[in-house]
DNA sequence: CACGACAATATTGTCGACAATCTAGTTGCT
DNA sequence: AGCAACTAGATTGTCGACAATATTGTCGTG
């Protein structure tokens, strides 16, 4: 693999894993050591990560992990709401029987995870459900935008998954999405997906209020 | 202005103006001459334009203007449909009386442009209407995504504005959008905007069919 | 004429070195 | 102690040069 692509992939993976704090400095020389690459490769990777909205660079001051405010997180989620609504709609238009069965399996596994309080498994299934819907929809542009926005939300995603009762609310919403897609009802699928993500926005606002209260 | 930012802005403006053909080579050395900048600046600009989806670069083979197929144009427009729907919804939630009056003025000017067959003026008003809606909505993320997608559509935009009867169809749709926003009806605003852009998708399909017929 | 092989030229990829800028620490003064 | 000025070190910005790769042109052969 070419050096700059490698640095980009690895550094992005590290960022998405939450290895860095918001505003943390990313010093070129350190990255060169860490990834055993030249400054050329590191700089190219940083530029790409900046284009992804994960990193901000300021002239003569280097790169930092970009901080995503809750305000921005809400806007990102609003955009995701409508774009993922489009994806759900399209999935409902295209779903095969086999794909519908897969969705149902995921839904059943979610029920199990919620009942047993397994937040980690639930999170994985959540990711898997959304991914499956996107695969069924097969809409490259929408998928690309969702991926990009998702990367910017990683920090808030974690906070939300830890919200008490979050998974018992969302499992019902996930099931509504699955039902609508399996029923090949585009309008219902879009509505269900939007309602689900609207509740994510509410959850974000809940966190925002708690933060204000906590000072 | 810093060289790479300048090259980026100018080259992007040239691309958006339609100065280049799809797949046209962008040779670094030539760009260096044209913009009187170093290769460093030119390469940085090209990388940014690649991130914008306007240019594609292939290792050891340089940069080209990225060709946007009609298929991709349709997908782009579908995403725009839902994102601009969100923007219209939000504009309806936030619009002031003064802003509503501005929208109405634009709508009236559009009527005049259509009646007099002034396609160029109509195009400008079209741009202005959408921009005004975005300003009212004041949704940074949505606006950013729309701008980025718009850049990728520039070639198809031109073909569409030349479609016979296109402006008389869209002027009615624009008025519906204006009415709904001025009435502060988010649902109606979103529906009107989506209907408008859905008809853009149909127009794209019309072009695609004509192209197939023409061979 | 068409095709393959090879050379020449064009172009891109990348490096090390140096210049420019910023930040942190030290010193001197009030 | 607080502040300003200065210095040293850290870091980023950018260049020219060279290596690597792709493309084009030329030549020879059938």
Q: Is the CB of B3 under 7 A from strand D?
A: yes
At B31 the pLDDT is 94
**Nucleotide lying nearest to A40, CA to C1' measure:** C14
Residue-wise DSSP of A140-159: HHHHHHHHHHHHHTHHHHHH
Q: Where along chain B do the CATH 1.10.10.10 domains lie?
A: 3-65
**Please, are residues A65 and A27 in contact by the beta-carbon 8 Å criterion?**
no
Please tell us whether the domain made up of B3-65 is placed in CATH 1.10.10.10.
Answer: yes
What ipTM did this prediction achieve? Answer: 0.90
| pLDDT confidence tier of residue B164, bands split at 50, 70 and 90 | confident
Across chain B, mean pLDDT equals 92
**Please, are residues A57 and A46 in contact by the beta-carbon 8 Å criterion?**
yes
Nearest Cα residue to A154 out of A47, A27, A19, A5: A19
Average pLDDT over residues A144-170: 85
CA distance, residue A1 to nearest chain B CA (Å): 12
Q: Does A1 touch chain B (CB under 8 A)?
A: no
Q: Does A140 touch chain B (CB under 8 A)?
A: yes
Q: Is the CB of B84 under 7 A from strand D?
A: no
**Please, are residues A56 and A180 in contact by the beta-carbon 8 Å criterion?**
no
Q: Does A2 touch chain B (CB under 8 A)?
A: yes
Q: Is the CB of A214 under 7 A from strand D?
A: no
Q: What architecture does CATH give domain A70-214?
A: Up-down Bundle (1.20)
Q: Where along chain A do the CATH 1.20.120.530 domains lie?
A: 70-214
Instruction: Please identify residues in chain B, positions 51-90, with a C-beta within 7 angstroms of any atom of strand C.
Output: 57, 59-63
How many residue pairs from chains A and B have C-beta atoms closer than 8 A?
59
Nearest Cα residue to B170 out of B90, B113, B100: B113
Per residue in A177-215, pLDDT tens? 999 999 999 999 999 999 999 999 998 888 877 777 765
Q: In chain A, how long is the greatest CA-to-CA distance?
A: 56
Within A55-185, where are the H helices? Answer: 70-94, 97-115, 119-137, 140-152, 154-161, 166-182
């Amino acid at each position: 693999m070419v050096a700059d692509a490698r640095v980009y992939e690895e550094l992005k993976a590290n960022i998405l894993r939450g290895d860095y704090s918001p505003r943390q400095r990313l010093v070129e020389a350190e990255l060169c050591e860490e990834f055993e690459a030249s400054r050329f490769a590191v700089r190219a990777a940083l530029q790409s990560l900046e284009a992804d909205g994960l990193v901000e660079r300021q002239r003569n001051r280097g790169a930092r992990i970009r901080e995503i405010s809750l305000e921005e997180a809400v806007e990102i989620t609003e955009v995701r709401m409508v774009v993922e609504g489009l994806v759900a709609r399209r999935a409902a238009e295209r779903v095969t029987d086999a794909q519908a069965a897969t969705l149902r399996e995921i839904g059943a596994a979610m029920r199990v995870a919620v009942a047993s309080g397994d937040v980690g498994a639930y999170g994985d299934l959540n990711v898997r459900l959304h991914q499956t819907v996107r695969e069924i929809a097969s809409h490259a542009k929408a998928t690309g935008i969702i991926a990009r926005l998702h990367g910017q939300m990683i920090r808030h995603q974690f906070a939300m998954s830890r919200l008490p009762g979050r998974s018992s609310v969302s499992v019902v919403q996930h099931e509504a999405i699955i039902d609508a897609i399996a029923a090949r009802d585009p309008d219902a699928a879009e509505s269900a997906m939007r309602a689900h993500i609207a509740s994510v926005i509410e959850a974000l606002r809940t966190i925002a209020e708690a933060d204000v209260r906590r000072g």
